[in-house]
Amino acid sequence: MSRPQKLAFIDPGLRKAPFFLELRRALAPRIDCIYYSRRRLVRAHVRSVDALLFPNRTSGKRPLHTISDAELREAIGEKEWQLRRDKALRKAPRLLGELAAFLDEQAVDALLIWNGGNLCGALAIWLARRRGLPVIFAEHGYLPRTTQLDLDGVNVLSSLTRAVHDGTAMLAPDPDVDAALDADIDAYRSGRPMRLADARIPDIHLRDPWVRLSRRIISIVKSTLRGRSAAAVLPGTPEAPDLPPFLLLPFQVRKDTQLALHSPLLGNDMRRFVAVADEARRSVAPDLPLVVKLHPYEHIKVLRQYRDLPTQFPQVHFVSREPITALLPRCAAVITINSTVGFEAMLFDKPVVALGHNFYTAPGLVEPVTSLDMLPDALRRALTQPVDHARRRAFLRYVHARFLVFGSYDDFSERSVQAVATRIAELLPAINSRAAEPAAALPEAGRSEGSVRVEAMQPAVLRG
């Protein structure tokens, strides 16, 4: 009998850790789960249920991982290089050494990483690629209580993007598929939140008194800051403007991977985004108001920098508290960079103009913009030409029935846990077949790779 596959969860966040620990039961005995984290609270969660944890302790000297400057730059990844270059350069050599020891000493067979854009995830992916170890990428799904799990990456880097562009991300009408899709669309339209603000964590994960107290304090602080930020940023601005149909422009989190890696026209400059969108609106549809929705999870320090936006753009309406599901039914079209709101707009059958890259930014689904001078014409088409309802519906069937996993880290029901565990197990045959590929296809450990093209060696989550 072959040994169980060993799946390593790399640096799970505090909110995700309890759910990832729940997966041990559902994945056993075929898959053994092991966890890597240096976060104190996450480590306390792992230890409280006697799961395998690495490193054994976080104090003491860690080994350096000796690589060239070019390799270090590549391993850090584009997002961390753009946002936190100096900090990443300081931390990466020792973190690489510790992660390399973890993967080798524990004989890890595959990794599961949330998103993969942060420093620890990017370094782990870089090491995994050089060892021929597959990575399962995880990220929020596009419908309430769903997750995406994929071997290629998340969002624009997922296998879904390839399927969209080669025309295979479409399903023909099917009574059962359509009934399930309609039920979930109706649930979303009715305001069901994409994520639960306060998930009911099983008691087994709260046995440690320090963990219980810390989680409670963090929850209170985050809730307080979110409540303060909305009032502080836009004092006196109506939360539900009584407007005719309008153009909706959703802000995105400024440090989001989507903006750092997949926004070639605007980067993460939300102020410029408002300016170019409003200029296009005035040239194409001056009678349509422009409504900007601030992101509910943006950091308060960033939100404070937006305080002067109503003064700079007096003709634009800014809202912060009104949910996106209350705005989408009333808008004429959505202008986005690559926000998930672009996909959500399709659930309301609204036209979408997209200025960045994501899985849905394909002709026939939305109006993609590849240069800023195209924006006015794209907006004009979105407002005057009917959307391709049949193609969108075929696409939504595919996403719902074939791509999304109907479980999430804030839902501890047996259905949710089993759904995520089942998809992970389904990915294992692909993992096993990839691991069986000839070793010659991979660079030799310790060999200089200066002749290898950087693009070919980048972690999959960072290719764009």
Distance CA 143, CA 176 (A): 18
Task: Evaluate if residue 387 carries a pLDDT over 90.
Answer: yes
Q: What is the pLDDT of residue 453?
A: 27
pLDDT digits (tens, 9 = 90+) for 287-309: 999 999 999 888 888 888 998 99
Listed range (52-56, 84-88, 235-239, 271-275) with the worst mean pLDDT: 235-239
Q: How many angstroms separate the CA atoms of 77 and 260, rounded?
A: 11
* Statement: residue 437 has pLDDT above 50: no
| Beta-strand relationship, 290-293 and 317-319 | parallel
Compute the average pLDDT of residues 439-448: 32
pTM of the model: 0.86
Domains and CATH numbers, the chain: 5-141+405-462 (3.40.50.2000), 203-395 (3.40.50.2000)
Residue 72: in which H helix or E strand, if any? helix 69-76
Spatial contact of 260 and 215, defined as CB atoms under 8 Å apart: no
pLDDT at res. 298: 87
Residue with tokens 């990794």: 111
* pLDDT of residue 27 exceeding 90: yes
| Residues present in the chain in total | 464
Is the model's pLDDT at 176 over the cut of 90? Answer: yes
User: What average pLDDT does range 161-166 have in this prediction?
Assistant: 96
Confidence (pLDDT) at 182: 97
Residue 220 is predicted with a pLDDT of: 74
pLDDT at 460 over 50: no
- Rounded mean pLDDT of 255-264? 91
Distance between start and end Cα atoms, the chain: 41
Q: What is the pLDDT of residues 215-250, one digit of tens each?
A: 788 777 766 665 555 555 555 455 545 778 999 999
Q: Is the pLDDT of residue 206 over 90?
A: no
Mean pLDDT of the chain: 86
What pLDDT is attached to residue 239? 53
* Lookup: tokens for 239: 């939360």
Percentage above 70 pLDDT, the chain: 86
Distance CA 256, CA 340 (A): 12
Confidence label for 464 from pLDDT (cuts 50, 70 and 90): very low
pLDDT tens column, 92-146: 999 999 999 999 999 999 999 999 989 999 999 999 999 999 999 999 999 988 9
How confident is the model at residue 211, as a pLDDT? 81
**Alpha helices, H only, 234-374:** 257-262, 270-284, 300-304, 309-312, 324-327, 341-347
CA angle 37–41–42, rounded 5-degree value: 35
More confident residue, 319 or 274: 274
Which range (277-291, 372-386, 417-431, 440-454) has the least confidence?
A: 440-454
Residue 60: pLDDT over 90? no
